[in-house]
Amino acid sequence: MIKLCVFDFDSTLMDGETITILSSAMGKDKEVGEITARAMAGELDFYESLVRRVRLIEGLELSRALEITSNLPFIAGAKEIIAYLKSKNIKTVVFSGGFHIATDSAQKKLGFDLNFANELHHKNGILTGNVGGEMMFGDSKGKMLLRLKDFMGLSSDEVACVGDGANDLSMFKEAGTGIAFCANKILKEAATHIIDIKDLNEIKKII
């Protein structure tokens, strides 16, 4: 029986990539999007790609970033699947290689239990182009899930993960159920289940 379900955020619960949406305010969305695509396909080291992308939004006003991230679009079924899992007493957690300014806002709207992400550094109300936090590396999600499993006393068979890109691979290795959601080929190959319909309600057929 599943007791914990971990979701990726960008392009899994949220419809798009937070860093690309933020960078559009700076006119850098095309450049950022290209780096993101390479990272999610496993062609570029995640840490390197994260640092390069965040540098491109240096100078963005924090107030504008907060406004953008409080109005992000969600994937169809996002609120419903969290409610469904919680009704089954399954803890819901988000691991994001993105940013707390997005996941913290989403937690209030969607109702998941906990989230781990990164912090965009800012000074005098302006983003500095620097980033730090809990999900900086390609294996961060797997390491954090291992800690959560130990803390909660769970086996891998009691854990499900939902994601779409290469930086989700490490957490899939720690879960008995790995759901590749509208995912890249590299993650589909590591998954126990594949969903190609852009509706998170499809997870109800699995869990």
DSSP 73: P
Q: Where are the domains of the chain?
A: 4-205
User: pTM of the prediction?
Assistant: 0.93
Point out the residues that are catalytic: 8, 10
Per-residue pLDDT tens digits of the chain, which is 207 residues long: 999 999 999 999 999 999 999 999 999 988 888 888 887 777 888 899 999 999 999 999 999 999 999 999 999 999 999 999 999 999 999 999 999 999 999 999 999 999 999 999 999 999 999 999 999 999 999 999 999 999 999 999 999 999 999 899 999 999 999 999 999 999 999 999 999 999 999 999 999
Measured CA to CA, the distance from residue 131 to residue 122 in angstroms comes to 9
In the beta sheet, which residues pair with residue 117?
Answer: none
DSSP 10: B
Q: How far is CA 2 from CA 22, 95, 148, 180, in A?
A: 35, 18, 14, 17
Sheet with 193-195, strands from edge to edge, namely 126-133, 114-123, 91-99, 4-7, 159-163, 177-181, 193-195
Topology classification of domain 4-205: Rossmann fold (3.40.50)
